Structure 1
Amino acid sequence: MNKLQAMEVFVQVVDAGGFTRAAENMKLPKATVSTLVQALESTLSAKLLNRTTRHVSVTAEGAAYYDRCLRILSAVRDAEDNLTQNRTSPAGRLRVDAPTWLASEVIIPALPDFFAAYPTIRLELGCSDRQVDLVEEGVDCAIRGGRQLADSRLVARRVGTMHYMTCASPDYLARHGRPLHPDELAQHACVNYFSARTGEVFDWYFARDGERIQIGLSSHIALNDSFAYTAAGLAGLGIVQMADVLMTPMINDGRLIPILEGWDNAPLPIYVMYPHHRHLPAKLRVFLDWTMQLFSNHPTLR
């Protein structure tokens, strides 16, 4: 038995919550994964996992051994990286997930510079407004915005801030008039945004001179994709509230008009998130550093 391989397989089974997902993530036969864990248990004379037909959970002894495995595997990989980083550039497949609008408007336009610096990295960029499960889906890191991103399995590194604008199309304002206070939005058609993961319809936020308003608005339409959401605003379906980096070009060319100016729309932090217990490979480390630099230089997101 290759002890290091068996330890890595055991860690993957714990992370994935089962043998099937771990085998898929490691591209190994399920039988090989199961055999390696059983051999590890036999060598240690300890039961590391509780197995049922539907679920795998770690035992108390397994949890303690898991923590030690993480440290050992991390030390081995650090040693390997230290030997190779001066001879080779970061390389390999890197899976990243980001909201559609952020990927399209900020990340993708800057990628030529990234690939010029790291030509041997193969980036797989998932673009959607759905919040992926990084551990379950084998994603190396995700860029997310929000007020509460608590997940004990993840490290969250803040890279920027999203500022929001409230807008409407010229056609809508010509037909319905311009609200002068957030309280007047209840008398208007508003386009809501809902979570693709939970179905929750997001509230609208406003603040000015110490006054804070959080309101839930009824609407004829709610969407869960940022580009579809802005398309609804452009079509005159109602008032919209979205990140200014997405809205500004449409305002500059007159397709949308900002309203309720002077009201702060509760800016949200942007994070890069990645599993905290995993070794940080060079390809992920350079992407994190590049992302930090990208956002710090952006005029509206820094």
Structure 2
Amino acid sequence: MDQLAAMRALRRVVELGSFTAAAEALGISHTVVSRQISHLEAKLGAQLLNRTTRRFALTAAGQAYYEASRHILDALDDADRAVGQHQANPGGTLRINAPMAFGTEELAQWLPRFLARYPDLQVDLVCNDRVVDLIEEGFDVALRLARDLPDSTLVAKRLASSQVMLVASPDYLRRHGTPRTPHDLLQHNCLTYSQLARPRAWRFTAPDGAEVAVTVQGSLQANNGVALRTVALAGTGIATTASFIVHEDVRRGALVRVLPDYTIRPRELYVLYPHNRHLSPKVRVFVEFASALYQARGWD
């Protein structure tokens, strides 16, 4: 027996004054309502209603049970409404993990608009350049820049592509010359991104579509694109980095694109979150906001 259903049936009978009206309100038959209340009386070992052919009346036990069950059902209805309101108005703390460069150079640019749209949310943003375990470390969502994602139980939604480019300062190129082909890089100090599986293996697609691979050498590798940008600005060497990190430097001439006719496979931007049957409202609105943002304006 579904005791909650039986309690609701009893309440409807008492408040509407008849089994027929209660059955219509609940969308079930008169017979089912009568059976539910009979089963409830059998479970409790007490008669709740005195019935005649035309009317009924609550017994003393029935009155006490009706009052108690009404409070229980009201509390359940309040709980349902609270969850519904929470679903409509996400709140609480949203823990986000992001790569250091992306978090500081890109995410921080549009995060204020997200917070303005959802004023009941607080964001705890953690930026680092290691792969965190979302579940173990308590993150709600993560942003990743990668060419390929490892298999996992997380949901991964692609948001955009991030162009990768080679850059160097005008001073470095004056002193060491400007490479004309990828093989010329073998004579240069190349600054590499250590988070890649093979940091020194640089692969290009030539203007004619041919694939070109070179293994470069250099005085610095770093796990952070902003550090590579800063060292490149100082005239130390040629860096490979995401365009969102250096596009302003290129625009104002502080850095120059090297081998602009050769393309490097882009890194994809993903948003990752745990697979739950019921996605929490705060994660849902963040994923929707980020998806709409990059779909509307693109990237690079």
Partner residue in 2 for 1:211: 210
- Write the distance in 1 (CA, Å) between the matches of 2:81 and 2:289: 19
Note the C-alpha offset of 1:104.
Answer: 2.2
Range with greater deviation from structure 2 (263-272 or 100-109): 100-109
Partner residue in 2 for 1:295: 294
| Consecutive unaligned residues in structure 1, runs of 5 or more | 1-78
Alignment of 1:26-65 (within 5 A): none
Range with greater deviation from structure 2 (198-207 or 129-138): 198-207
Partner residue in 2 for 1:232: 231
With the length of structure 2 as denominator, give the TM-score of the two structures.
Answer: 0.68
Q: 1:81 to 1:114 in 2, by over 3 A?
A: farther
Q: 1:262 to 1:275 in 2, by over 3 A?
A: same
Partner residue in 1 for 2:240: 241
User: Deviation digits for residues 147-186 of structure 1, max 9, x if unmatched?
Assistant: 2212322111000001011111111101100000011111
Q: Secondary structure at the match of 1:139?
A: coil
Query: What percentage of residue pairs aligned between the two structures are identical?
Result: 37
Bigger Rg, structure 1 or 2: 2
- Asked if residue 251 in structure 1 is aligned to residue 237 in structure 2, the reply is no
CA contact (8 A) 1:91 1:120 kept: yes
Q: 1:213 to 1:279 in 2, by over 3 A?
A: farther
Q: 1:214 to 1:137 in 2, by over 3 A?
A: farther
Q: 1:212 to 1:93 in 2, by over 3 A?
A: same
Instruction: Give the aligned CA root-mean-square deviation in angstroms.
Output: 2.3
- Write the distance in 1 (CA, Å) between the matches of 2:86 and 2:108: 28
- Write the distance in 1 (CA, Å) between the matches of 2:81 and 2:205: 48
- Write the distance in 2 (CA, Å) between the matches of 1:299 and 1:280: 26
Q: 1:268 to 1:182 in 2, by over 3 A?
A: same
CA contact (8 A) 1:156 1:273 kept: yes
- Write the distance in 2 (CA, Å) between the matches of 1:115 and 1:180: 46
How many residue pairs are counted as aligned between the two chains?
Answer: 221
Q: Letter of the 2:180 partner, please give it.
A: L
Alignment of 1:180-191 (within 5 A): 180-191=180-191
CA contact (8 A) 1:193 1:223 kept: yes
Note the C-alpha offset of 1:199.
Answer: 8.1
- Write the distance in 2 (CA, Å) between the matches of 1:87 and 1:265: 42
Q: Letter of the 2:156 partner, please give it.
A: A
Q: 1:291 to 1:164 in 2, by over 3 A?
A: same
CA contact (8 A) 1:143 1:273 kept: yes
Q: Secondary structure at the match of 2:139?
A: coil
CA contact (8 A) 1:167 1:257 kept: yes
- Write the distance in 1 (CA, Å) between the matches of 2:97 and 2:200: 22
Partner residue in 1 for 2:269: 270
Note the C-alpha offset of 1:207.
Answer: 0.4
Partner residue in 2 for 1:29: none
CA contact (8 A) 1:223 1:229 kept: yes
Range with greater deviation from structure 2 (125-134 or 153-162): 125-134
User: Deviation digits for residues 62-91 of structure 1, max 9, x if unmatched?
Assistant: xxxxxxxxxxxxxxxxx9599514885100
Runs of 4+ in 1 over 2 A off after TM superposition: 79-83, 85-88, 198-203, 213-216, 297-301
Partner residue in 2 for 1:168: 168
Q: 1:98 to 1:222 in 2, by over 3 A?
A: same
